Amino acid sequence: MADRVIIFDTTLRDGEQTAGVALNADDKMEIALQLAKTGVDVIEAGFAASSPGDFEAVRAIARTVKGPRIATLSRCVSGDVEAAIQAMEGALDPRIHCFISSSDIHLLHQMQKDREGVLLQAVAAVRRAREAVEDVEFSPMDATRSDPRYLYQLLEAVIDAGATTVNIPDTVGYTVPQEFEEMLRGIYENVKNIHRAVVSVHCHNDLGLATANSLAAVRAGARQIEVCVNGLGERAGNASLEEVVMALKTRQDRSGVDIGVNTRELYRTSRLVSDLTGIVVQPNKAVVGLNAFRHASGIHQDAVIKLRENFEIMDPREIGHPEATKIVLTKVSGRAGLKKRLEELGYELTQEDLDRIFVRFKDLADKKTEVDDRDLEALLSDESRSADATWLLERVHVSAGDTIRPTATVRLVNKEGDRIEDAAVGDGPVDAVYKAINRIVGEPNTLSEYTVKSVTEGIDAQGEVIIRIEAGGRTYTGRGADTDIIVASAKAYMNALNRLLALRAGKAEQRIVPV
Ligand code: KIV
Ligand code: ZN
């Protein structure tokens, strides 16, 4: 059986150190319960001595959450260790995590202590914590900038004092994968009692290398990785839970290790943490970003339709990602992508219909960043409205402003292909457009209702206009959608007029409807 790597989640401690994040006790409990569902092995629930609120949160989580071991952080000072011990009273499965700096830069310029003093402090803290709980982790802070010989000495001393896990933090995200792997090998070779402890790593992402460094450490033998959901944490954050887990799983052929995480909960966990911390996940974030399984270019879309694996190395369902392999329709999309999405929406079009829709789709995609399902529905119903039309709107142009009278010029085409252009002034731009259309169509009617709403969100959204006109005692409804609401208004009016004309001529309406 492959070795098991312990996943230690510190979202509730290092993750909470993200600038701008403050979680209350309820938020922390909710996240801890979700982390337990996700199957992480250890949850660092907080730093008991840091505040009464954190103390209570750690205590409640340690007594309530079943499954993962619950840890609390503690400096190597007796007040902290005693607070940690108290917070862990009655815990289901406790761990105390003691830390102290080991680099000369921190010793000299932060702590004003010498190496010997720090070693004694570390040993005393670990020994005291170990009197209270079976499981004690020790971290030499800023390990990657520490003198390796001192680090070996320190690790050996704390393992003798009872540390069951020794964690090697790359506190300032300084190391690079090869160097970190060599550093870990050095620890295995030079710390005599290292086999009595689990070696852990805790990588920060200042150079964007946290995940890569964590994987390099596993190659050297590390068997615990410390992570945060969505890569939260001090400064540029910590190694991200979802990246580390999916890299180990997807490339198990290279890592050779097992993990106990239920990857199907990863997306839900990411969303919950994002909602409660208010830190949004960037769309292109690996694994849990909105775009992680979306394909925009025509070439990629065509290929994933043929075989998902052409452009996907993970199955979105494995992560619980709701955007199962989504075709995103943009101006670079091709016919294959459009056809597939329309089929998924229930439309089966003839080649001729598809070609026609494709031209209109490209036109819309040029104006909008992304054409979504609601845009497609609007486009299709617009298309079916013009399929049997007596008059088609070919062009509409409006001049309006606060110092001129609104003037509209429209050009319509009839069934015979005649193009007729006319212009009119009106009380407003829509009124001017309707008057110009009336001059060409010559069908008396009264506008009884006009509404406009947005089809999608955003500044580039399509507007949909719905109108009602009255003529000869009957009411005719018209709809039109466009990124420009004046054009949408013109389309809606043409739609209503065409219905009126069709009814007069006794023609039935044809529509493209979902099958
Ligand atoms: O980054 C760090 O060194 C830490 C320690 C407290 C483990 O967060
Ligand atoms: Zn950290």
Report yes or no on 361 lying in a domain. Answer: no
Residues of the chain with pLDDT > 70, as a percent, come to: 96
pTM of the model: 0.74
Higher pLDDT, 451 or 207: 207
Task: Express the helix, strand and coil content of the chain in percent, nearest 5 each.
Answer: 45, 20, 30
Task: Give pLDDT, residue 262.
Answer: 97
| Inter-CA distances, 397 with 389, 468, 485, Å | 21, 23, 12
CATH number at residue 39: 3.20.20.70
My answer on whether 122 and 266 are in the same domain is yes
CATH number at residue 468: 3.30.160.270
Q: Whose CA is nearest to atom 2 of ligand 1?
A: 171
Quick one: pLDDT band at residue 80, thresholds 50, 70, 90?
very high
**Residue 5, token pair as written in the block:** 């790597």
CA of 205 to the centre of ligand 2 (A): 10
Report yes or no on 292 lying in a domain. Answer: no
Report yes or no on 93 lying in a domain. Answer: yes
Task: Give pLDDT, residue 508.
Answer: 46
User: Is the CB of residue 41 below 6 angstroms from any atom belonging to ligand 1?
Assistant: no
Tokens 């097992």, located at residue: 258
Q: Give per-residue pLDDT as tens, 240-272.
A: 999 999 999 999 999 999 999 999 999 999 999
Q: Which of 223, 250, 277 is the last residue of a domain?
A: 277
Report yes or no on 514 lying in a domain. Answer: no
Burial letters for 105-140: b for 16+ Cβ neighbours within 10 Å, e otherwise?
A: ebbeeeeebeeeebbebbbbbbbbbbebbebbbbbb
- Distance CA(296)–CA(289), nearest Å, equals 15
User: Is the CB of residue 169 below 6 angstroms from any atom belonging to ligand 1?
Assistant: yes
My answer on whether 270 and 401 are in the same domain is no
Task: Give pLDDT, residue 510.
Answer: 43
Task: Give pLDDT, residue 511.
Answer: 45
Among 13, 14, 47, residue to substitute to test ligand 1 (most atoms within 8 Å of Cβ): 14
Q: Which of 250, 277, 304 is the last residue of a domain?
A: 277
Provide the domain limits for residue 43. 3-277
Q: Give per-residue pLDDT as tens, 326-354.
A: 678 888 888 988 998 888 777 778 898 89
Q: Which of 226, 253, 277 is the last residue of a domain?
A: 277
Average pLDDT over residues 307-321: 91
**CA dihedral in degrees (164, 252, 228, 95; nearest 10)?**
-20
Report yes or no on 345 lying in a domain. Answer: no
Domain count, the chain: 2
Q: Give per-residue pLDDT as tens, 137-192.
A: 999 999 999 999 999 999 999 999 999 999 999 999 999 999 999 999 999 999 99
My answer on whether 400 and 259 are in the same domain is no
Write the secondary structure of 161-191 as one string of H (helix), E (strand) and C (coil): CCCCEEEEEECCCCCCHHHHHHHHHHHHHHC
DSSP type of residue 286: T
My answer on whether 218 and 91 are in the same domain is yes
397 pLDDT higher than 90: yes
User: Is the CB of residue 50 below 6 angstroms from any atom belonging to ligand 1?
Assistant: no
Report yes or no on 380 lying in a domain. Answer: no
Report yes or no on 284 lying in a domain. Answer: no
Report yes or no on 321 lying in a domain. Answer: no
Average pLDDT over residues 449-476: 83
